Chains A and B, each alone.
Chain A
Amino acid sequence: MTLSGREAYRDELTLLAREDPSIICLEADLGGARHPFEEAHPDRFFNLGIAEGAMIDMAAGLAAAGYRPFVSTFAPFATLRAAESLKLTLGYIGAGVTVVAPYAGVSGAWFGTTHHGLEDIAVARSVPGVTVAAPHGEQEMRAVVREAAASGRPHYVRTGRNAVHESLSPAATAEPLVWDRHAGPGDVCLVSVGEEGTRLCTEATAVRDGLAHAHLCYLDHENLSSITGLLGERYSRFVVVEEHRAEGGIAEALALLMPRNEVHGVNAGRAWPTEGGDHHEVMASLGLHLPAVLDTVDRLTGPAPVSVRRPDATLTNA
Chain B
Amino acid sequence: MTTTGTETPLDLLVERATRTRRLVVDMAAGPRGCHLGGSLSVTDLLVAALDRAGRDEGTEVVLSKGHAAAGLYAALHTSGVLAENPAPHYGLAGHPYTGHPSAHVPGVSFPTGSLGHGVPYAAGWALSRKLSGKPGGAIAIVGDGELQEGLVWETCQVAAAQGLGNLVLLVDANGGQNDGPVSRISPLEHLSERFAAFGLRTAETEGHDMAALTSLLDRGPDPSGRPLAVVASTVKGKGVPAVEGKAGSHYVRIDAARAARWKRRIT
Contacts and interface: CB of A to CB of B under 8 A. Distances in A.
A65 B102 contact: no
A53 B154 contact: yes
A61 B127 contact: yes
A54 B111 contact: no
11 contacts: A49-B158, A49-B161, A54-B155, A60-B110, A61-B60, A61-B124, A64-B124, A66-B128, A85-B120, A92-B102, A93-B103
Nearest to B128: A65
Contacts of A66: 128
Contacts of B3: none
Contacts of A57: 117, 120-121, 123-124, 151, 155
Interface size class of A (residues with CB under 8 A): 20 to 34
A66 B123 CA distance: 15
Contacts, number: 89
Interface of B: 60, 102-103, 109-111, 114, 117, 120-129, 131-132, 138, 151, 154-155, 157-158, 161-162
Contact of A48 (B125, B129, B158): B158
Interface in A58-106: 58-67, 84-85, 88, 92-93
Given A61-B122, A62-B127, A88-B111, 8 more contacts: A49-B157, A49-B158, A49-B161, A57-B123, A61-B110, A62-B131, A84-B117, A92-B111
A62 B117 contact: no
Nearest to B132: A65
A253 to B, nearest CB: 27
Contact of B128 (A48, A51, A61): A61
Dominant SS among interface residues on chain A:
helix
B238 to A, nearest CB: 30
A61 B125 contact: yes
A246 interface: no
A24 interface: yes
B43 to A, nearest CB: 25
Contact of A61 (B102, B111, B121): B121
A24 B131 contact: yes
A58 B117 contact: no
Interface string A29-57: 00000000000000110101101011101
A63 B110 CA distance: 11
A44 B121 contact: no
A51 B109 CA distance: 22
A259 B121 CA distance: 42
* Most central of B60, B120, B131 by chain A CB within 10 Å: B120
A92 B126 CA distance: 21
Contacts of A43: 131
